[in-house]
Structure 1
Amino acid sequence: MTLVPPDDTTRAGTAMTDAEYGASRSTLWTGASALITDTSGRVLVQRVDYRDVHLLPGGAVDAHESPSRAAAREALEELGVTAHYTRGLAVDWIPSNTPGYPAETRFPGEILFVYDGGTWNAEQIAAVRLPDREILAIDFAEPARLPDIMEPGDARRTLSALRARINGTTTLLEDGRPLDPTPLDRHRVLATARKPQHWSWHSATVPSGLPLQQSWGWLFAPDGRVLVLIGTDTGSACLPGGTVDPGDHGGPSATLRRETAEEANARIGEQLLHLGYLYDDNAAQQPGPCARVRMAGRLAGFGPWRPAPATGHTYARLLATPEQVCELFDWGPEGDHQVAAVHAAREQLGLPRPTRQSVTELPRRGGIL
């Protein structure tokens, strides 16, 4: 049975003509770009002859062209490289009132797609061939520096896309801001410049006579992910641990347990494994050459979120895969050797290999893992 309103014969029709329907739809530009990083996690940006700011590789989507094909075409035209983009990192809606567009363009707003261009090694970077005009140079910029060299919306979009790549997800943005912010977004991860820590990795005990400066830990949850701390005032990442104190009579294990309790209000299980150490050849400064130990163990539990008693700093407590943690630092190629040692320890502890997933935050009220 069909129900018809009693006054249906007096209602005006709602059907549009094809012309009326077409005229009612929003008109937007479409663009596509690629996010490319080097092995230190810096972002490839271009200096161009028509703007005084840096841009990601990319440009406008031509008529009858898909966004992924546009990104690949622009990579060939601008960088001289053949690319095939299959993974999207971000889709951004850019409003029509965005500053910087000349009035003559009648900018209607834009939908911009950001694709994952991967991590390039030195050989891939050396293969770049710039065109005779338009692209003046390419640079690899520390993520925290992007707001200084890009338009504000471009920098927001690029950082959001970079965090989505670390998460292994795709993010929907409006003017560069995520509609559903992840912990990496909420805590402004990578907003502060990372300190290069290109120290050599040694899977051995610390040699006699080499001062032990710090002890840091890779602490596992039952699903094989590890704890990483994010400074809530800076967005900077650190592993649990810190400087060896003369009162730490138990050596690096005691330092790690003390620092983890102070910074993360978390407890470590009984078993701790020595992974190795980083050799810091800091000959020009105090304390001179030293060792920075890495250990591994299980997280036993964690208390309520609180400031560290010694410093007053507050750290967000996140769980991530070892590979995701490595992407939050500038460790250089040595980071891969350290991550390999972490996975060996994970297997020794009988824990599963975690799959990449969105980084999660431990509950602020505390709990048991």
Structure 2
Amino acid sequence: MSKEAYGALRASNALWVGTSVLITDRRGRILLQRVSYRPTRLLPGGAVDLGESPAQGAARELEEELGISTAVTRGLAVDWVSPAGRAASPAVQFPGEILHVFDGGVWDEDQVAAIRPAPGEIEGVEFVEPAQLPALMAPGDARRALSALRARVYGAGPAILEDGLPIAPTVLDRVGVLRTARARHHYPFHPAPAPAGLAVRQSLLWAFAPDGRVLVLLDPDTGTACLPGGTPQPEDAGNLMATAVRGAREQAASELSCAQYLGYLIDTGVPGAHIRYAAALTGLGPAPVHPATGRTYVRVLATPEQTRDLFDWGTSAAEQLQAVHQARATLGIPQAARQAVTELAGAS
């Protein structure tokens, strides 16, 4: 084949190239744009210009659309959007697209306040819960954004997608993490004993594996996450550490040692305390069926920071994490390196 023929063949199979940026706030909500030319919301981004790399295009779009000048260096996903996977007018002659999703990071209040939406194109921006994406975005856009967010939490590098879905689903994809609204627990955290007379609603554990990661339970039906533990029962005889250990055993067949008190969160809506302990995770039995719910939780190990991303704890998350890491150090457990979330399938 001549160079001319080869070039013509490749040109006849040309695809669009697009780029977008996933940005969250400190609560883990995703930034979406309301645009003048579509009824659905979008991540910041757009088409990659001729001679421009996807990362350069992402940075340019952030500046053009939001007035924010920043480098974009970390990828979250690369999506093959097929002609059938996008609802485009036949007049557009959509040939398919390779769309890159980059990590715009976690923005604080000052960064959010600096946003200047492009007049005439961007009508406004908002931060929304991940579970709201399917209701606000086109189906393919919502799948892609959720897959990219899960890839960020999972921690193993960019995901390869086809029409928004990973070709190699992780445990977070398989369980559908973040597709259900996270429980909103914006409770103040107090690293002190709970006041006498305050009803205790829950007693939960940060259970540390030897590598510094913690045990997290995922509901197989909803994808929601929880820390192991439970609610006080008569057999606990008022011992809240026993409540947490018993609940963790029933939910996850966990073996624990060296449990220590962290503090409590106070529910300002329905007055009551949510107690937190830390402990060393020394073993796991086969995944049990929880006697109260009938569920068999999916058990994973995640860093404390990855765990935080699975909950909506508000500003108290930072204070709770500080207490968690202090307890980890006291237990003689190292700080976990950034790594992929690991599913715990059987006994260990």
Using structure 1 for the length normalisation, give the TM-score.
0.91
Deviations 1:254-283 (A, max 9, x none): 1111111111122212x210001101112x
Whether 1:304 and 2:286 are equivalent positions in the alignment is yes
Shift of 1:170: 1.3
Q: 1:100 aligns with which of 67, 87, 90?
A: 87
- Counterpart of 2:289, as a letter, is P
Aligned residue in 1 for 2:334:
352
- The structural deviation recorded for 1:247 is 2.4
User: C-alpha separation between the residues in 1 aligned to 2:244 and 2:127?
Assistant: 35
Q: Deviations over 1:28-59 (max 9, x none)?
A: 10001100011111100111111111100000
Following the alignment from structure 1 to structure 2, what is the Cα–Cα distance between the partners of residues 74 and 342?
Answer: 39
State yes or no: 1:220 paired with 2:202. no
| Alignment counterpart, residue 197 of structure 1, candidates 185, 201, 226 | 185
- Give the equivalent residue in structure 2 for 1:162: 149
Q: Which residue of 1 aligns with 2:323?
A: 341
Query: Does the CA-based 8 Å contact 2:26-2:108 persist in structure 1?
Result: yes
User: Post-superposition shift, 1:117?
Assistant: 0.5
Q: Which residue of 1 aligns with 2:3?
A: 18
1:130 is displaced (CA, Å) by: 1.2
In the TM superposition, what are the counterparts of 1:307-318 in structure 2 within 5 Å? 307-318=289-300
1:114 to 101, 104, 117: 101
Unaligned runs of 5+ in 2: none
Task: Give the superposition deviation at 1:307.
Answer: 2.1
Match of 1:331 among 313, 317, 327: 313
Q: CA deviation at 1:250?
A: 5.2
3-state secondary structure, aligned to 2:235: coil
What letter is aligned with 1:313? R
| TM-score, normalised by the number of residues in structure 2 | 0.97
Structure 1 residue runs of 4+, over 4 Å off? none
Give the secondary-structure state (helix, strand or coil) at the position aligned to 2:146: helix
Quick one: which amino acid aligns to residue 241 of structure 2? S
Contact 2:130 2:146 in 1 (8 A): yes
The one-letter code sitting in structure 2 at the alignment partner of 1:228 is V
Q: Does the residue aligned with 2:84 lie in a helix, a strand or coil? A: coil
- Opposite residue 55 of structure 1, the aligned amino acid is L
Instruction: Write the distance in 1 (CA, Å) between the matches of 2:124 and 2:26.
Output: 19
> 2:235: which partner in 1?
247
Contact kept? 1:279, 1:289, Cα under 8 Å: yes
What SS class does the counterpart of residue 249 from structure 2 fall into?
Answer: helix
Whole-Å Cα distance in 1 between the matches of residues 142 and 119 of structure 2? Answer: 27
1:102 deviation in Å?
A: 1.0
Q: 1:155-207, CA deviations, whole angstroms, 9 ceiling, x for partnerless residues?
A: 11111111111122211111111122111111111010012111001001112
Q: Do the aligned residues in 2 keep the contact of 1:36 with 1:119 (CA within 8 Å)?
A: yes
Within-5 A mapping of 1:3-42: 16-25=1-10, 26-42=13-29
* Corresponding residue SS for 1:54: coil
Partners of 2:232 and 2:238 within 8 A in 1: no
Which residue number corresponds to residue 259 of structure 1? 247
Amino acid in structure 2 at the alignment position of 1:304: P
**Match for residue 44 of structure 1 among 26, 31, 37:** 31
Supply the distance in 2 between the matched residues of 1:98 and 1:191 (Cα, whole angstroms).
20
Query: What code does the residue aligned with 1:136 have?
Result: E
Query: 1:137 & 1:147 partners in 2: Cα distance?
Result: 19
Number of positions where the alignment pairs a residue of Structure 1 with one of Structure 2 = 345
In the alignment, the residues of structure 2 paired with residue 358 and residue 179 of structure 1 have an alpha-carbon distance, to the nearest angstrom, of 17
- 1:62-211 matches, within 5 Å, as 62-168=49-155, 169-211=157-199
Percent pairwise identity: 53
Say if 1:262 and 1:310, in contact at 8 Å, map to a contact too. no
Distance in structure 2 (CA, Å) of the matches to 1:267 and 1:203: 25
Rounded to whole Å, the distance in 1 between the matches of 2:125 and 2:37 is: 15
Distance in 2 between residues matched to 1:200 and 1:97, nearest whole Å = 48
In 2, the alpha carbon distance for the partners of 1:81 and 1:157 equals 23
Q: CA RMSD in A?
A: 1.1
Aligned to 1:5: none
Rg larger in structure: 1
**Per-residue displacement from partner, 1:8-45 (whole Å, max 9, x unpaired)?**
xxxxxxxx111221232231100011000111111001
User: Is the CA contact (8 Å cut-off) linking 2:33 and 2:124 kept in structure 1?
Assistant: yes
Contact persistence 2:201–2:273 (CA under 8 A): yes
